[in-house]
Structure 1
Amino acid sequence: MTRIDNNAVSVRGLVKHYGDTKALDGVDLDVRQGTVMGVLGPNGAGKTTLVRILSTLLQPDAGEAVVAGYDVLRQPRQLRRVIGLTGQYASVDEKLPGWENLYMIGRLLDLPRKDARARADELLERFSLTEAAKRPASTYSGGMRRRLDLAASMIGHPQVLFLDEPTTGLDPRTRNEVWTEVKAMVGEGVTVLLTTQYMEEAEQLASELTVVDRGKVIAGGKVEELKARVGGRTLRVRPVDPLQAPPLAAMIDELGITGLAGTAVDGESGTLLVPILSDEQLTAVVGAVTARGITISSITTELPSLDEVFLSLTGHRASAPQDAKTTDDRQEVAV
């Protein structure tokens, strides 16, 4: 398999079995250089298996993959020098201080001692860990260990970075710090493949999304494209007089326009939330409001939330990443 122009990752027909369970069932995937590909899916969908194969930690049963120009199966040693990996759980040596963790990884990557020291200092400062540089990693908070783990994945200036649910269990402040660093990496030209179950994280970071379920890719595209694919928008109509909202909602429902049953009212803002399926329905609602002589403060349309897209595509909501270890994880531990 040859590298496809402008793609940092090209995957064709990846298959992986664990006994009778097919973790990956013919996965195809392309990730453009310098972008973030978000891979979404429920627990056990195959996300972690995909990351482990692309980072050379696991061999597929069938299929091909090229990462940063290297064949995953035929050139694993060369590939490991140009990728970084941050798994679901911090993998740093907790007995070593933060600085020594980074220096050690730099030396393992064959960086000269001077360069390894400089790179460790640089990344500790970048990830706000300089003051804790000489402390054992075991004394770090969960967020600090996660930042150290992310710094470790950057030691070798990777061309492609794999982030497997990198903010699992982090508080919102630390999660935002990680997001900021990921955005900075992409700004420097790094390509990122991100698995996540946080819908907000996917929207914040990913330029494109791939949704996997039961080992298969079931949808893909830009965030807005996936939202549009689900079908339906919400029309938000806010009268100048909030007291007019309830009777206006009742009037819209009474019109019997297809697909408009169930108009809701946000009591706090006095805004109508009208589900619509087409531009024709939107026009009909606006026309009805205008004919009623009601003065409108604002009127906007919204696409479905990413969580609603996930629910529509997979049949269930994304579960919180910290709730349980994934089926992927349990199976791979046994491999």
Structure 2
Amino acid sequence: MSEPRSAPEREAILKAPGFCRYSTGHLAVVDWDADTGWSDPRVESWSDLAMDPATLGLHYGQAVFEGLKAFRAEDGSVHLFRPEDHGSRLARSAARLAMAEMPPALFVRACAELVSADEAWVPGGYGQSLYLRPLLIATEPDLGLRPARHYRCVILAYPADPCFGADFRPLSVTTATETVRAVRGGTGESKCAGNYAASLLTRTEAQAAGYDEVLWLDGHERSRIEELSTMNLFLVWRDGEKPRVTTPPCDGTIVRGLTRDSLLTLAEDRGIAAAEEHTTIDAVRDGLRSGRLAEVFACGTAGVVVPVGRIGIGGEDLTVGDGGEGPMTAALRSSLLDVQHRRTPDAHGWLRTVLRADENGGRRA
């Protein structure tokens, strides 16, 4: 249960919110029924979800989610980052699990109404945001194995620093050798609850061994790198005078990250060679040993852009570069954050204004 907070309490929280430690105390709720379709969004006080023990979503895993952010610009205005694309991805995830697909326009409307209600909770620090977590789950009680006839989407909101910390310290990762997270034809690119549950055992074992995250390999040959448990992966290669950036392609086994897509676009804007390429873990090992692989970084909505400083491969620990953050990683993160906070023009139409700034201190869009 999230208790209402006073203005002084809220101001203290916003100075150092951490990641999803403090709810705003509101939810946006949208329901779907097979007979009546989607309801209008409504913003409610935070409350528990009451579910029958036979709820289909609990038994058969019909649950998908998203993560997106609202940012405050220097002029005080507030903007959602790529909400239409997040809505489209939620609909694709739902379709893969035979769930009702929320129209992206309705998704954006629900998110905007929640951000408008919680505008005072949007922090203003560079890299800080109001993090939104939409969850769509089957709510019909029935034990038959079939798609549900009732779904509920709840959208939670939290003031947030990046999930791995605002200092963007380098992560240490290790390759998964005994388990796989996804195979082609499965649900690997969908943001469904089961995908993340499948990563927990190996991720917990990696953390017990002193690593932050797991680098997953392809599920067939276990030779190609794919992604981390919660983030996509980029490699920065030294090819001649100019560096080259690569990331594994989305072939149905990794999440189609919107931060990933944004970085590919921003790299192109800066004249940086960037491409989707399959890369083997052997090539990563050889590149780190030779120095040709200069930087590795992970990216995602929650973590933004985080350097990887150490990679465990087959019992060998390899340092990436000097173990710190490389210039390409820092430059691409700054390019992304500058757009999100409107420090640079939104050349690609990624921002959806929720609150405009004016001489009276702001008004809702």
Q: TM-score range by the shorter chain?
A: under 0.3
Q: State TM-score, norm by structure 2.
A: 0.22
The structure richer in helix per residue is 1
